[in-house]
């Protein structure tokens, strides 16, 4: 429903949820379904306009200035030339709104960026335009489908949330996760896919620091296939050794001892 309303209203969609539940995959799937190019901006601490929107090609600008030295060129004319689109380097946000055909713009893990960066996003998300001081306001040639993801590492601003539709993605239930596993790893077969989904659902109920997501489930399923393990309960020791695919902290590895694995395998039918 959230994706349908996004298409209907043309609003950005903010997806929140634990790491590994498939938020990024939603944008990839949206691009694939509509046959659109995916433009991805990976957010991180310290991200600024130069990396996200645009920057000037300083090397080319310097070469142009040196080329005009000694020619008696009008300084104002040189300035207008070097601050023209010929010297502009497009970063993901500018690429998305200047694309001739609509694209899917993924602003991934926006919560990792600084609060100041959100101010850069507001104009884009509200009006699908960006302002470059030397060139003015650049409006979108085609309106992108915008998907933002957040792992909830910090609270996003109200201004950003108001501009977006919102959807929380939780870990899938066992039946849905089994279908995902089969879609990505058909060689699993229905029986092993159900066992993997059941075991992962059980281990998420343990007191863990970081719950395994769908990405970890897929890695584990691939490992089981590669090792030729067709029945989880038949090889508990080998299964326990493969939990490095699911458990990603020292504390969690210590919490799931072999006897815990055996207990959980006993509940996997």
Residue 269, pLDDT > 90, answer: no
- The pLDDT tens digits for 19-68 are 888 899 999 999 999 999 999 999 999 998 888 989 888 888 788 777 77
pLDDT tens string 156-172: 999 999 999 999 999 99
Whole-angstrom distance, CA of residue 269 vs CA of residue 174: 13
DSSP for 51-65?
A: HHTEEE-HHHHHHHH
In percent, how much of the chain has pLDDT > 90?
A: 66
- Residue 72 pLDDT grade (very low, low, confident, very high; cuts 50, 70, 90): low
Q: Residue 257 in 3-state DSSP?
A: coil
Please count the residues of the chain: 269
pLDDT tens by residue, 78-112? 777 878 888 889 999 999 999 999 999 999 999 99
Cα(40)–Cα(214) distance, rounded to whole angstroms? Answer: 21
Say how far apart CA 27 and CA 107 lie, in whole Å.
Answer: 9
- Examine the pLDDT at 221 and tell me if it is beyond 90: yes
CA dist., res. 251 & res. 205, Å (int): 15
Contacts of 235 (CB under 8 A, 6+ apart): 229
CB 20 within 8 A of CB 87: no
The structure's pTM equals 0.83
Place of tokens 């379904």: 33
**Strand 145-150 to strand 13-16: parallel, antiparallel, or no bridges (unpaired)?**
parallel
Contacts of 72 (CB under 8 A, 6+ apart): none
Token readout for 41 is 């901006």
């Amino acid at each position: 429903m959230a994706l349908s309303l996004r298409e209907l209203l043309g609003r950005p969609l903010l997806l929140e949820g634990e790491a590994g539940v498939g938020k990024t995959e939603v944008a990839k799937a949206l691009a694939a379904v509509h046959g659109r190019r995916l433009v991805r901006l990976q957010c991180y601490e310290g991200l600024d306009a130069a990396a996200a929107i645009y920057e000037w090609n300083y090397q080319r600008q310097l070469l142009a200035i040196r080329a005009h030295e000694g020619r008696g060129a009008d300084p104002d004319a040189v300035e207008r030339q070097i601050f023209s689109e010929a010297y502009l380097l497009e970063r993901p946000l500018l690429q998305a709104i200047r694309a001739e055909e609509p694209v899917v713009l993924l602003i991934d893990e926006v919560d990792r960026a600084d609060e100041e960066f959100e101010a850069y996003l507001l104009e884009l998300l509200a009006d699908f335009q960006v302002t470059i001081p030397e060139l003015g306001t650049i409006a979108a040639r085609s309106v992108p489908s915008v998907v933002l993801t957040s792992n909830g590492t910090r609270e996003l601003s109200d201004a950003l949330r108001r501009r977006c539709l919102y959807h929380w993605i939780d870990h899938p239930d066992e039946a849905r996760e089994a279908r995902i596993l089969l879609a990505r790893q058909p060689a699993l077969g229905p029986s092993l896919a159900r066992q993997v989904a059941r075991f992962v659902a059980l281990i998420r109920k343990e007191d863990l620091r970081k719950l395994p997501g769908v990405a970890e489930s897929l890695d584990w399923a691939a490992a089981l296939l590669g090792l030729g393990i067709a029945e989880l309960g038949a090889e508990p020791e080998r299964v326990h050794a493969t939990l490095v695919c699911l458990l990603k902290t020292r504390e969690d590895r210590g919490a799931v001892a072999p006897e815990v694995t055996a207990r959980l395998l006993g509940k996997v039918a």
